[in-house]
Structure 1
């Protein structure tokens, strides 16, 4: 029975062009071992610098991204707002399906604090407030989609700043597009800092509280530099991450998953670096 995933040889990579827009394809050795499959129905692993797709399964299939799309929101915010810009939360920003970082109505937050809550603990309330800072939820989504298109992630359609889904406004993207988005995110120093911090101080009703990163690969996988989980009933489990080793950086994207996606990501990273 043939494998459902694909392995790119050097010739195939050159003929197909770079996976990651803005990277020039380079010749790579043909992988010498079969990549590990796993619970995600769609996935890929690619080299960040060259853009070569090392292995994949349904890399251009359309799936709901859940909270992995929050990284696109973070880039869109930083394109127009300073990390020091401040805004006051209202009760409306807290009226959202959680996960939430715990915004307090009347409290003032900086963009940097909201991005901490967005990327570390996947705060949908933080996404709401950041969306309003971009002019409102629909204008924010329009900006996010324009940003995705400018990166070459042309199959991405965000319909909410947070990645939450609802009837008639489901977000969609592909593993390929998420790889492009997470590669682009590496160019933002603030996003890199947030993804690599284990904990941060966040304003609370009593002064401050400590929030901790949800990305388990920060502790479980040496060389992990970014990772974002997501889950909705429509999306299932999703995960996108970048790890570095020996001067190489690889991106792994997992979509429409269940079970242990961290384990699948670790196996794919180990396989990719071994190539």
Structure 2
């Protein structure tokens, strides 16, 4: 799990940049490999995750389904508040294609279909919560496979847990591959990764955006510089979380000689 480390020294290394703040009021930057927290603000604050919960579903999917498993979409999968990848009822999709739609364009229709392939939404959500506990994200409660909220089924997590979940998800080679893809082919269409850091920040290796009215803007991402890999998680923001993430990554990498 992500673990607290020693406080950051007041005399920062030569060339270090200033630690940024805002527009996300709860955030964390940590070493992706050791789990050591380099800096944080309210890292255990409980907020709705929105679509940043989707890497948790992706892990559950790959624990139970092969990438080449397939099923046919139906109208129940598409009757969902979007963002959507645009599944067509009657069209067959593989697990991998649905994961690409889930992780690259935050497809809530893909989340619904994957949940059905796992045995239904209640089965999928229960498996997501077991997986969260197993990887050390004990402040996380999933209530829907997509991260959408509704009366009586609000999901919650923390910046700490989002970092823990992404760290665990990147141990799945297919998830890591999909999250750094710029584009992918689905039946009848090409989809493009929504993670703007892939083009705005060299070294970005993964990321997942999220937004609902309850969650506001949420974001979790990982980047590499040399042999160092960092993870940044941000929650409950109202502005450019990409810009803040870039600042946090720059600050984090400046802490290493």
Gaps of 5+ in 1: 1-17
The runs of at least 4 consecutive aligned structure 1 residues that moved more than 3 Å come to: 25-29
Aligned match of 1:258 in 235, 238, 252? 238
1:19 Cα deviation from its structure 2 partner = 2.6
Superposition map of 1:61-140 within 5 A: 61-140=45-124
TM-score normalized by the length of structure 2: 0.94
TM-score normalized by the length of structure 1: 0.88
Matched positions, count: 250
Cα deviation, 1:153-201, whole Å, max 9, x if unaligned, reads: 1110000000000011000001111110000111101001101110011
1:246 Cα deviation from its structure 2 partner = 1.3
Find the aligned partners of 1:223 and 1:240 in 2 and give their Cα distance: 15
Find the aligned partners of 1:257 and 1:28 in 2 and give their Cα distance: 25
User: Whose relative contact order is higher, 1 or 2, with alpha carbons under 8 Å and at least 6 apart?
Assistant: 2
1:28 Cα deviation from its structure 2 partner = 8.4
Superposition map of 1:1-275 within 5 A: 19-20=2-3, 30=9, 32=12, 34-203=18-187, 208-275=188-255
After TM superposition, the structure 1 stretch with the greater mean CA deviation from structure 2, 46-55 or 224-233, is: 46-55
Secondary structure of 2:156's partner? coil
Gaps of 5+ in 2: none
1:30 Cα deviation from its structure 2 partner = 2.5
RMSD of aligned alpha carbons: 1.4
Find the aligned partners of 2:59 and 2:7 in 1 and give their Cα distance: 31
8 Å contact kept, 1:26–1:50: no
